[in-house]
Amino acid sequence: MTAAASAAHAASADPVSRLDGALRTAIAAVTGLPAAECDPQIRPSGNPQFGDFQANFAMALAKKLGTNPRQLATDVVARADVAGIADKLEVAGPGFVNVHLAESALAAALDSFDSPALGIAPSGATHAVTIDLCGVNVAKQMHVGHLRATIIGDTLARVHERLGRKVWRENHLGDWGLPIAMTLAALRRASADLDSITLEDLNRAYRAAQMEGRDDHAGMIAAQGTKVGPHRIAELEAQNAGAALAQEDARATLVRLQSGDAQLVAEWQKIIDCTMREVFETADTLGVHLTNEHSRGESFFREKLGPTVEAFVKAGLGTEDDGAIVVRYPDRERPMLIRKRDGGFLYATTDLSACRFRVQDLKSDRVIYVVDARQRDHFKDVFDAVRMIGWTKLPDGTEAELIHVPFGSVLGADKKPLKTRSGENFTLRALLDEAIERGTREVRARSTDPNAPTAGMADADLAAIGRAVGIAAVKYADLGSDVTRDYVFDLDRMVSFEGDTGPYLQYAHARIAGILGKALDAAAHAPPRPTITVAEPAERQLALALLRYPQVVRDVAQHLDPSRLCAYLHGLATTYNGFYQQCPVLKCEDPALRASRLRLCAISKHVMKDGLGLLGITAPERM
């Protein structure tokens, strides 16, 4: 059976889907409404003693129909054919319906769920999804701000791919324009060896070029007005003259670069290559799928900028304002500048071109930008302009979604943006190195216990686990919080094997792997697919938790919120621990029951590994 077929089979056996159909039919029969308007609003029960699920349709429908909600619920329960799905439907309170699933339905659903697809059916969407992630600037080191854009974007890409979507990861590089020309010009003046240059060298050159090109005409005016001494005037004159020369050199370099000067283009490419080597190494360390094929810079769109502006002018949306071209909106005062008076283009022009390319050329019906929350207004302007000109309409009439996923800042213990002790931005490389070192130290310390699963393990293997733990700590702490909010970076808490942390989930997976490993010999004599029983409350709660996984994955894709998956996995680990404590597995004397519980363990391990994989987190077998 293919993955798609097994997922479809699991969906057909899902007791919640079957329950939804039965209640929908009963509501339609009682009310006379079309089945499409008869959503039973099934939700997991907040308290297992009142049932497994609750159907909350009665109050809203009763208000609409002008009838009593409890009586409506009672009538629906009387008409509902739930044989083989639920053992009992009970009307409670003003009209809630408590649902107690049949044990056989739950066991059958879990049996169907136990497949490579884990009940996740392909979406069937024919268009692609584009996700703008990472977004580095050439000649600059990745800093902690790039962490969020990279790992949130990668997780959203993985989730959409898990649902069968074609995903374009787009790393929009800042590789064009005057800042890059300034850096290149400064490197040429210094006769830098671009074949051996490092990104740290480039970063210093970038900052130095910015300083060289910074004039202070306002300071000169103030100095002359306050009649300061001639030495200060001379300093300002020298600064402004030097800045003017640097700016002129940068502009001349940019013109030559734009005209395709072979030597300059080759040197520019060396700067890009140097930058991207570290970007790809960092992505690999993070477990993020990002390569050269995903990197499309501003330079890619440079020939599209003029036609983009012309298209807005031709459509009557781009209007002249003191020699510049702007786009105006009916609902806000601020216009969007898309071409300067001197004919130069802006970030907005590039983003308009990129939006059009991502929808029209990449055939995407969902274009997701994972970018810092401070760019909220910018993307509102860009997206509204793209909609106004009609570039969100695909050839088959589908209207593409343009979505900005804004994220907050990573803070230090002082609740301010994370900085080094010297006050500089933390480089992402330094932050990851520290996390890996802390994770490795913790793993090695635990391996000194002779009873630990890692006791006696080779140092290289311990280092590999420590690396996985350190990266999991950083990624889970970030992805587990509301992406729109700031969060405090606290490695001591993040690396803990207890609580709501990445290492805790890795350890939960490793514990299940250990249990299954101990049972291997006995399992060799058991049926290959033993019958599942869920008679005990803890078995039942674990089965219900496992069956929620497909909907959680769909919810993450719909709401673009990785924290939902993190919360689910933490809840699953907690539920599994309750099952293991209350239901003996290895010491169970009944062979059939032992085999059933081992299968529950195996399914739990599979879901944990799959879910961690969607977060880009490694699931070690031993910890």
Q: What angle do CA 147, 149, 154 make, to 5 degrees?
A: 95
Q: Write phi, then psi, for 240 (nearest 5 degrees).
A: -70, -35
Contact yes or no for 452/465 (Cβ under 8 A): no
pLDDT greater than 80 at residue 2:
no
Rg of the chain on CA atoms, in Å: 30
Residue 235: predicted pLDDT: 57
Span 158-179, pLDDT tens digits: 999 999 999 999 999 999 988 8
Span 586-623, pLDDT tens digits: 999 999 999 999 999 999 999 999 999 999 999 999 99
pLDDT greater than 60 at residue 37:
yes
Residue 605: predicted pLDDT: 97
Contact yes or no for 470/440 (Cβ under 8 A): yes
Instruction: Over range 510-531, report the average pLDDT.
Output: 79
Span 106-134, pLDDT tens digits: 999 999 999 999 999 999 999 999 999 99
Q: Which CATH class is domain 428-614?
A: mainly alpha
pLDDT greater than 90 at residue 529:
no
> Would you list the DSSP string of 330-372?
TTEEEEEEEE-TTS-B-HHHHHHHHHHIIIIITTEEEEEEEEE
The CA dihedral of 486, 489, 495, 497, to the nearest 10 degrees, is -40
Q: Which CATH class is domain 3-113?
A: alpha beta
The CA distance from 237 to 227, in Å, is: 14
Contact yes or no for 583/536 (Cβ under 8 A): yes
Q: Are strands 401-407 and 332-339 parallel, antiparallel or unpaired?
A: unpaired
Residues whose CB is less than 8 angstroms from the CB of residue 526 and which lie 6 or more positions away in sequence, other chains included: 591, 595, 598
The CA distance from 401 to 390, in Å, is: 12
Q: How confident is the model at residue 569 (pLDDT cuts 50, 70, 90)?
A: very high
Output the CA–CA distances (angstroms, integers) from residue 2 to 6, 8, 9, 230, 609, in the order listed: 6, 10, 10, 83, 20
How would CATH label the architecture of 128-175+289-410? 3-Layer(aba) Sandwich (3.40)
3-state secondary structure 7-20: HHHHHHHCHHHHHH
Contact yes or no for 35/28 (Cβ under 8 A): yes
Higher pLDDT, 208 or 70: 70
Range with the poorest average pLDDT among 228-232, 374-378, 412-416, 447-451: 228-232
Residue 186: predicted pLDDT: 87
Residue 528: predicted pLDDT: 75
Q: How confident is the model at residue 227 (pLDDT cuts 50, 70, 90)?
A: low
Residue 11: predicted pLDDT: 52
Output the CA–CA distances (angstroms, integers) from residue 134 to 299, 531, 594, in the order listed: 17, 47, 47
The CA distance from 468 to 491, in Å, is: 14
Residue 416: predicted pLDDT: 86
Average pLDDT over the chain, rounded to an integer = 91
Residue 66: predicted pLDDT: 95
pLDDT greater than 80 at residue 584:
yes
pTM of the model: 0.90
Beta bridge partners of 487: 410
The amino acid sitting at 255 is: V
User: Which tokens in the block code for residue 282?
Assistant: 């960092």
Q: How confident is the model at residue 238 (pLDDT cuts 50, 70, 90)?
A: low
The CA distance from 139 to 265, in Å, is: 15
Contact yes or no for 361/170 (Cβ under 8 A): no
Residue 237: predicted pLDDT: 56
> Would you list the DSSP string of 594-618?
HHHHHHHHHHHHHHHHHHHHHTT--
Output the CA–CA distances (angstroms, integers) from residue 106 to 17, 26, 202, 550, 600, in the order listed: 12, 22, 60, 15, 12
Q: Which strand (E) or helix (H) includes residue 108?
A: helix 103-113
Residue 522: predicted pLDDT: 53
Tell me which residue of 307, 274, 277, 272 sits closest to 290, measured CA to CA: 277
Q: Are strands 53-55 and 96-101 parallel, antiparallel or unpaired?
A: antiparallel
Contact yes or no for 619/504 (Cβ under 8 A): no
The answer for 343, left when phi > 0, alpha when psi is -120 to 50, beta otherwise, is left
Instruction: Over range 446-451, report the average pLDDT.
Output: 95
| Torsion sign (Cα): 144, 148, 149, 155 | positive
Residue 213: predicted pLDDT: 62
Residue ranges per domain, the chain? 3-113, 128-175+289-410, 178-286, 428-614
